[in-house]
Amino acid sequence: MLRLTKVIGLFAILTLTGCVTPVMLTKQDAYPDMYAQGPQSILVVPAINKTTAADAPDLYSTTIAQPLAEAGYYVMPIPMVDMLLTAEGITDGEQLRSIEPTKFKSMFGADSILFVTINQWDTNYYLTGGNVTVGADFELVSTQSATALWNYSGRVVIDTSGNSGNLIADIISTAITTALTDYVPIARQVNARVMTTLPLGKYHYRHKLDGQDPVVNKQIAGR
């Protein structure tokens, strides 16, 4: 009977762990290396673009410096970094993945590198409506230890459907609204959501006081 109980218990655990359910952790538990190493500066490299929108990385680059600075970090000037990398023929962050992260410490003096992968920058239409979606994955890598300090994913979907009740009018309204929707404010919403999970930096008044703040760690939850 005891053995049967253990088997049932094990089955229940396996069943639960097989479900993709968000896991609520504290920031300290989710990202211990972030608190241990305490990076103060961030080098933002060109975004890795997995979408068909060629202009997505350039548009996105205008949205990321402010939320990082507000989170308490010194952000290496993005236009200058882009200019230097472009001069070396580097226009996509994917090209930098094979380079030892510690080299960026001597090149730029940054404590960490932020890789952003844009996986959704889409306009979607369906019979009775439409939407605009921006989604991205974030990973902050230490230039000292080459380890990943923080990672998270974010996605925002904006409904652009007409709702007058008149099918023809709604199709026209949806097409116009969707075509005119600006992706940049949506990207800022993605950043705002994701940055709530980032441990606060040295220049924020709550630096080292946010370790017990709750965060939904999707990376762990998805394993």
What's the token pair of residue 185?
């404010």
Q: What mean pLDDT, rounded, does the chain reach?
A: 82
Q: Under a CB-based contact definition with an 8 Å cutoff, are residues 38 and 73 in contact?
A: no
Strands (E), 32-111: 41-44, 48-49, 74-75
What's the token pair of residue 110?
């940054």
The mean per-residue pLDDT over the stretch 138-145 comes to: 95
pLDDT at residue 34 greater than cutoff 50: yes
How many percent of the chain have pLDDT more than 90? 55
pLDDT at 5: 42
Q: Where are the domains of the chain?
A: 30-201
pLDDT at residue 6 greater than cutoff 50: no
The mean per-residue pLDDT over the stretch 144-153 comes to: 94
Per-residue pLDDT band at 174 (split at 50, 70, 90): very low
pLDDT at 2: 43
| Widest pairwise Cα distance in the chain | 71
| Distance from the Cα of residue 184 to its chain's centroid | 15
pLDDT at 167: 47
pLDDT at residue 223 greater than cutoff 70: no
Q: Under a CB-based contact definition with an 8 Å cutoff, are residues 93 and 48 in contact?
A: yes
How do residues 103-135 score in pLDDT, each as one tens digit?
A: 889 889 999 999 999 999 987 766 666 778 999
CATH class of 30-201: alpha beta
pLDDT higher for 67 or 93?
67
pLDDT at residue 4 greater than cutoff 50: no
Distances (CA, A) of 114 to 82, 183, 219: 13, 21, 17
In this structure, of 37-51, 53-67, 88-102, 188-202, the range with the lowest mean pLDDT score is: 88-102
How do residues 175-217 score in pLDDT, each as one tens digit?
A: 555 555 578 889 999 999 999 999 999 999 999 999 999 987 6
